[in-house]
Amino acid sequence: ADPTSTGESSTTATTSTSSTSGGGAPCKSDDDCGSNQFCDFPDVLCGAGNPGSCAPRPTECNDNEALTFGCDCLEYASPCLAQMAGTDVRGNIIDCD
């Protein structure tokens, strides 16, 4: 069964970066993905004209990751925690209006 359609995920991420690994449905925002997914954009662009792909939200995160900002313009203790909350990573510098 496809874990993205059942709301369950068998993937556990311990570290994560924005890489758009492919295979997921194309997306332009997190709203285009299922409730247990986020829109994974290439190279911390948060969409900026480039589509991403829906990826499963991590279920676990390491504690030793760097502070970052999500595409939702909120600050997170790590990229993994941003993705767990359902948003991709903007980077270490906030650029929100």
pLDDT in tens, 65-82: 788 889 888 988 888 999
How far is it, in rounded angstroms, from Cα 29 to Cα 14?
24
% of the chain residues with pLDDT over 70: 67
Q: What is the mean pLDDT of residues 24-42?
A: 92
